[in-house]
Amino acid sequence: MPPSAASFPRRLARTLRTSLFAQVSVALVLGIVVGKLWPDTATALQPLGDGFTRLIKTVISPLVFCVVVVGIAKAGDLKAFGRIGVKALVWFEIASTAALVIGLVAANVVGPGKGMNVDPASLDTKAVDATTGGGHLPSTTEFVLNALPQSFVGAFAENELLQVLILACLVGAALLHLGHTKVPRILPAVEQAQEIVFAVVGFIMRLAPLAVFGAMAHLVGNYGLGVIRTYAKLIVLCYVAAALFLALLAVALKAVTGLSLWKFLRYIREEMLLALGTASTESVMPRVMQKLRRAGARDDAVGLVLPTGYSFNLDGASLYLSIGTLFIAQAVGVDLSLGQQVTVVLVLMLTSKGMAGVPGSAFLALSATASSLGAIPTGAVALLLGVDRIMDSMRVVTNLLGNCVAVFAVSRWEGALDTDRAKRALDGEDTSQPDDDEGAAGGETGAGMLAAGIPAQKSTAPEELREPAAGAS
């Protein structure tokens, strides 16, 4: 047997043993196979994915708190932090509105629901109630009030990211106000806590393949692959519209920062595959924050823009909601005028902001939109029950990339991005040199504070999983 043939199995085994990307890819394929062949067994595997997501969620709040506090304290400029927040909201509104408009235009051109002639009375609306759990989207006043913490501990216990973000801003501002001479030990303690959280994330990430296997097997076993044929036109339209939106994002990223979205996608390929497998962007937030910091984005920008985007910048959800609204109207034979479609955009601009963390939020937003128009039967929302889970992949990819682009764009806009370091990171080069001393000139103040403890991107998982632990040395 030739040496090359004999070495191939060993190389394959080594890759599966060391590469997180390879492990998750295999788990994804196995999940689909098991879900197809043994659907009854596969539906019982959902706890694998849910358990992993719960573990990750336990570290998100402390991580966001530590990154934001350290970012504000290291940057030393509270006004700059406020500017980052305002610019992020402006970017979010432009991006989400563009996604809504693209979705409406695509649905008008293709008409995915035309010719279905569905009788709304024949639909089972109880299934929608079961999905939403009888909940409702918060009003604007409720949304603002819910963002304000009632207690310091409660915000962390309930994993309310916006409340944690506000607390972190207050603590960071207090550190700046008091100065390092009055609280000399607080900031180092927060930095050390941040390293511990990243170490915990490394441990949890070892379970990622199991989580992807369980989540994918449950999806295929519960919904089957036949739904893809039934809703083929709608599914293809949503994914094509998402691809068009991501192409526009790529152009915007290139124009604003000079960075390549394709290279960035390759840079976070493990995180993207995990997010696709678990249908959750929260499962990869800690790792994505780490990689954005390594790619030259300053800590205060990463800590503020990315978590805020999870509530205010749901580009994938915006695309889906606009296309879904027109699909429902077309399916039941309702022809929406231009004025009514403008109303759809305005309503969705508001309802999409309160979707994060609400069970069945997509159906709640669609129901609210249908009610505001008065022309679409609210029960027609049940038409999307069978296809909604298939759209998770589109929403996850678009939401995650949209928020990452927002971090780079806002960081560049505020002068908080080291573009040279970002290009080196996206090219796979070592960006872990301890060059913090040059932060003021290179836009790395804060972003490079743990650079010495974050090794270069490797092609093998164990090194990546040990990233936080390496910082302790």
pLDDT per position as a tens digit, 287-312: 899 899 999 998 888 988 888 888 78
The fraction of the chain above a pLDDT of 70, given in percent, is: 75
**So what's the pLDDT on residue 356?**
57
Q: How confident is the model at residue 437 (pLDDT cuts 50, 70, 90)?
A: very low
What does the mean pLDDT of the chain come to?
Answer: 76
Residue type, 170: L
Closest residue by Cα to residue 398 from 173, 192, 238, 166: 238
Q: How confident is the model at residue 249 (pLDDT cuts 50, 70, 90)?
A: very high
What's the rounded Cα separation, in Å, for the pair 148 and 144? 7
Distance (Å) of CA 323 to CA 101, 104, 391 = 9, 6, 12
What's the rounded Cα separation, in Å, for the pair 135 and 368? 12
pLDDT at residue 408 is higher than 90:
yes
Inter-residue contact 269 to 21 (CB < 8 Å): yes
Q: Kindly report, residue by residue over 101-152, the tens digit of the pLDDT.
A: 999 999 999 888 787 776 666 655 555 555 555 555 566 676 677 778 888 8
How much is the pTM? 0.74
Closest residue by Cα to residue 462 from 10, 18, 11: 18
What's the rounded Cα separation, in Å, for the pair 365 and 351? 6
CA–centroid distance for 367 within its chain: 24
pLDDT at residue 441 is higher than 50:
no
Distance (Å) of CA 443 to CA 79, 180, 370, 411, 414 = 16, 22, 47, 9, 9
Q: Which residue has the higher pLDDT, 352 or 466?
A: 352
pLDDT at residue 34 is higher than 80:
yes
Least confident of 24-38, 153-167, 428-442: 428-442
Residues in the chain: 473
What's the rounded Cα separation, in Å, for the pair 160 and 166? 10
Surface-to-core class of residue 115, CB atoms within 10 Å of its CB (0-12 exposed, 13-18 middle, 19+ buried): exposed
What's the rounded Cα separation, in Å, for the pair 314 and 356? 8
Inter-residue contact 92 to 314 (CB < 8 Å): no
